[in-house]
Chain A
Amino acid sequence: DADVTQTPRNRITKTGKRIMLECSQTKGHDRMYWYRQDPGLGLRLIYYSFDVKDINKGEISDGYSVSRQAQAKFSLSLESAIPNQTALYFCATSGPSGEQYFGPGTRLTVT
């Protein structure tokens, strides 16, 4: 969806490096989410935010941090990347009924 954009789309990094994934949305939604997707495991929630002052941990927040710079921007950081953080990462926003709208994803490989 062009309404939710993610950068970069692909990233290869080395173990121990710090990396930031960025997400922007033009849907005007307050709620934003970061997920990771691994084959056979579906989507797992890393962090979510209701507004710039409200950040909440999800199911698998260890090793990750987030920043909500504005209503439209929500970034995910890996402080010290490790190989088992190799995954597909998605940002999403939430509409009034709870339906979520996803960005195109970032494929992250940690070597």
Chain B
Amino acid sequence: AQSVAQPEDQVNVAEGNPLTVKCTYSVSGNPYLFWYVQYPNRGLQFLLKYITGDNLVKGSYGFEAEFNKSQTSFHLKKPSALVSDSALYFCAVRDRADSNYQLIWGAGTKLIIKP
């Protein structure tokens, strides 16, 4: 079965430190991979995606993610965290062969950046 795992319910990071939010996936074919962010009382916002090419993808607000095919991971990273990065982060994956364009979602990771 296809699935996405975000192993940490919550990640705590001090402001200015690097952050990593983990995501691993299981799909039958080659994946498209996505990260979204949800601020309180807001809808989800698209951050970045991996389609093909360079394994390191850069996105909005200084975030980047690294696709690792052998480890089936797509971890979200940022070199220096800001308090304003505190939010709920979702990883999602789509099988390229899925013509329904359905995304499979992780359960989300709450990121807390402390001043």
Contacts and interface: CB of A to CB of B under 8 A. Distances in A.
Interface of A: 1, 4, 31, 40-43, 45, 48, 56, 58, 90, 92, 94, 97-105
A45 B106 CA distance: 13
A102 B45 contact: yes
A40 B107 contact: yes
B51 A43 contact: no
A100 B106 contact: no
Interface of B: 9, 32, 34, 36, 42-46, 49, 51, 90, 92, 94, 100-103, 105-108
A103 B43 contact: yes
A42 B9 CA distance: 11
A42 B107 contact: yes
A7 B41 CA distance: 15
> For chain A, what secondary structure do more than half of its interface residues adopt (helix, strand, loop), or is it mixed?
strand
A100 B105 CA distance: 12
B43 A97 contact: no
B103 A100 contact: yes
Report which residue of A40, A58, A98, A102 has the largest number of chain B beta carbons within 10 angstroms of its beta carbon.
A98
Contacts of B43: 1, 4, 90, 102-105
A42 B42 contact: no
Nearest to A9: B41
Given A48-B102, A105-B42, A98 B90 contact: no
A1 B105 contact: no
Given A97-B49, A98-B103, 12 more contacts: A4-B43, A42-B106, A42-B107, A42-B108, A43-B105, A97-B51, A98-B94, A99-B34, A100-B34, A100-B46, A104-B42, A105-B42
Contacts of B106: 42
A100 B32 CA distance: 12
13 contacts: A1-B45, A40-B107, A41-B107, A42-B107, A43-B105, A45-B102, A48-B100, A56-B100, A98-B94, A100-B103, A102-B43, A102-B45, A105-B42
